[in-house]
Structure 1
């Protein structure tokens, strides 16, 4: 009999205790009937057959921890019980005990260990038949049932391995998706870097031409107007640079999933690709073309907020075009709170780039977010 009641991975559970108590009670009842009907062929020690038979059922406590040793213990207990007490009716409890242990051995062990479990269980059935008062024929009936239980255990083991493989594959796909998103964000940032370089060349060229005009205008008294133009253009340059540099800020957890510079017309494809055909996209107001920076940020805000939601039905995205505001609403079943916080933080960064606002709420396992991007400076 196993000497340890626990293992690092598996512990004796309540179901193990319940099965053991039930079969032990049935075994005691069966042995009492054997003693009182004189089925036991060793009448001098017949009363000991009652507690001794509990040794056949006690190993069921270890059916999940160590089913192979538990089966060995049951086989030894059956052999000793038959040697000491002779023929008796044991099949009514022995076969269920062997069946439970055969199933556990097949479902929790692989290869030779699983085959050893089947061998021990069949050997136990043979011992029951050899020492049973009803004759050896009960073994012919019980062995196939035990083998069937073992086969069901192999099926359960296969399903458990398949579920584990699917979990691993799902994790790998999630990692691959995040890596692809990171690469596409880097592509976005590279495109914006190119735009920044072009902006600097254009704006600095304009400022240089204005400075040349200022030198020529000192004599005729128009220098003040030229300096005013230089100041205005310089501020405009700074504003455009601030917008581009804000987008270029490090976004290590970015999760872009489309090509660079997407627009609001790509939202439907984004929603279907990210959350499936059950996700809903609705548009209110007066749809129109918006500044490229606003459309890009709006697309990314929706994308980040979708990352906070589970891939499940019930996801709704609404885009509302107001006169001076673009409002984006995203809601659905939420993921783990840490993932929601990270996705909302990325969306908030995009919204603050345009001096907008973002409101979020969670209740009943759902997350709701409303982002507003102003269209008038």
Structure 2
């Protein structure tokens, strides 16, 4: 029993007693104090209207029958309307329609019986309206309010679901953006800093380098640093801009020759060839292809030998990238976390392509197939980069492509060999 319902029941009982004192009941010989019994029973139903709605309905029916047999009284009839209303509103959902049918039948039958007994059509109409107001109106009102409450609850649930879906979409978008930024940062930084690390390691490992060689190495280190900072600033500028116009600054697969040239400056001899009719590619495919070639050459520089072969093949509906490089156990061998291979596969998957990377013919191969749009502008022939010829150095070759003077051979006795 709720406190507010108990107070409402006490208030109804007090008002009912006042109506009984004012003789607001049908006089059939029963003393007024007898009407207080049904009034108390129906007010007890008000006290349990929310916690036990069916019990409230039962108490109301019992009180109505007893009160009608004696009078009836106005106070009890008014409180019974609340019993009906509470039973339909707080009781089982399936109770509404049967209660509406029952109260409607009682209203019609009661009005007809009253009119037939009194043989007065006006009395039939009055009795019908009164029975409808007492029985049917509370039931209809409770059904309407319950329907509105259920609709409001459904809307709240739907709003919560939409909010959860929006939060999931937001988290997915944030996660995707973080992954994209991680790929971009890795591809921008790893290429240049790997070259810097390899060049620095090579210089530190030799103590017989002259000043000119050291100067060339430092110049290459500076160029890689400048290029890395420039690409970093360009990427930060793209992240900060508000519009979607990125065509002017986007990286293109057609600029792969720059990657080969830059790798050559870092000590990796790249043989780049282009097959088929080169054409304009979608922005996403262009960037994915460029980054895949860049990461493949970076891995070749870190873990491979001194050479790499890159082939770009333009086919109808797709572009195929293949980068082969030998693997030398005595190479620079910088440590890696595997983020590059993951990034290449993610880039290819985003444009509907695929990447395969693994050992091949005693070396390492990266093979990527990227689908392109069906319709493209008229193809333009891009100049193919011819493979550079082999170098016959007069001395050992550092990983960054510099030729150092040969160290004199030393005999077991400690003397230099001629």
**Structure whose CA Rg is larger:** 2
- Structure whose residues are more often helix by fraction: 1
